[in-house]
Amino acid sequence: MERAGTDRVLRREWRALLHAVERFVLPNVCVACERPIERRRPDALVCTPCLARLRTVDGGCERCAQPLPPVGPCRFCEAWPAALSWVRSAVWLDEEARQMIHHLKYDGLSTLGTEIARVVVRSVPRVPGAVLVPIPLGPRRLHRRGFNQAEVVAGALARRWMLPLQPSLLRRQRETRTQTALDPARRRQNVRDAFAARSRGGRRGGGEGGERAAATVILVDDVLTTGATLVAAAEALRQAGWPRIGAVTFARALPYAARAVTDPAAVPARGWR
């Protein structure tokens, strides 16, 4: 018994030594700037300076936290239907945030979900009694990628906020084109009726008591551009009887005025920006 315990300790110390040697010989580099990670955070994927450069979204709109125009109401969320009650994004989609999302989605660096969750909880308050629902991928895209990046982020948030995660509450009932190259009108058309939700309190898929009692569903996605995807998902949930739907994303596309400064080819967006 005593010998077995000693062997476990020795194996643990040996693994720690090998890990330290590996990090000394092959140090991690930051996914955003490709510079070596500082030695005090050897397993991190984003360096401290890049994390510090992330800019918080903290505008004046009560519904979506977008910066308000000089005159009149918020133009970012004014056309959204009532089904989507509120949205919060942690940071603007600057280069650092863009690289984090790119490496999470396309390089399979799922541990970035934990780093992203840390950033989110610093600026987005926890909603007691809510359930977290990631925006689902279509079956073909999920098979090709191997995982859903929104579910990775939502899982990390669920652990930090100590809220239930319910990925089966919402499903994508038809494949959709990628939204990246579409204008706002085509984005709305692309995701219209794309989602179906389980009825509140229904037993299809094994609903749990905590889920049935939840007053708020929080949709989770990686990036908010126009809101078309979140709106379509919220409308499906509202039709299924969920009374209050909010949303949280890690990043938000820069407003046109900010994008125009860094991208001369940027063109004004129409409709839902």
Specify the higher pLDDT residue, 175 or 255. Answer: 255
What is the per-residue pLDDT across 10-66, written as a single tens digit (0 to 9) for each?
A: 666 655 444 444 444 445 889 999 898 888 887 788 999 999 999 999 988 999 999
Look at residue 28 and tell me if it is in a domain. Answer: no
Q: Round to whole Å and give the CA distance between 121 and 36.
A: 26
Domain range for 59 is 55-262
| pLDDT over 50 at 183, yes or no | yes
Please return the burial class of 198, using the count of CB atoms within 10 Å of its CB with bins 0-12, 13-18 and 19+: buried
pTM for the whole structure: 0.80
Using a pLDDT cut of 90, give the percent of the chain over it.
51
Look at residue 241 and tell me if it is in a domain. Answer: yes
Report the SS3 class of residue 235. helix
Q: 24 is written with which tokens? A: 């000394």
What is the per-residue pLDDT across 86-130, written as a single tens digit (0 to 9) for each?
A: 999 999 999 999 999 999 988 888 889 999 999 999 999 999 999
Look at residue 43 and tell me if it is in a domain. Answer: no
Q: What is the mean pLDDT of the chain?
A: 81
If phi > 0 it is left, if psi is from -120 to 50 it is alpha, else beta; for residue 186 that is alpha
Q: Would you place residue 190 in the very low, low, confident or very high pLDDT band (cuts 50, 70, 90)?
A: low
Look at residue 213 and tell me if it is in a domain. Answer: yes
| pLDDT over 60 at 4, yes or no | no
Look at residue 161 and tell me if it is in a domain. Answer: yes
Give the pLDDT of residue 155.
Answer: 97
DSSP class of 176: -
Q: What is the mean pLDDT of residues 206-212?
A: 49
What is the per-residue pLDDT across 128-179, written as a single tens digit (0 to 9) for each?
A: 999 999 999 888 888 888 889 999 999 999 999 999 999 999 998 876 656 5
Give the least confident one: 51-55, 213-217, 231-235: 213-217
Look at residue 29 and tell me if it is in a domain. Answer: no
Query: What is the distance, to the nearest Å, from the Cα of residue 81 to the centroid of all Cα atoms in its chain?
Result: 21
Q: What's the total number of domains in the chain?
A: 1
Look at residue 40 and tell me if it is in a domain. Answer: no
Look at residue 124 and tell me if it is in a domain. Answer: yes
Give the pLDDT of residue 264.
Answer: 43
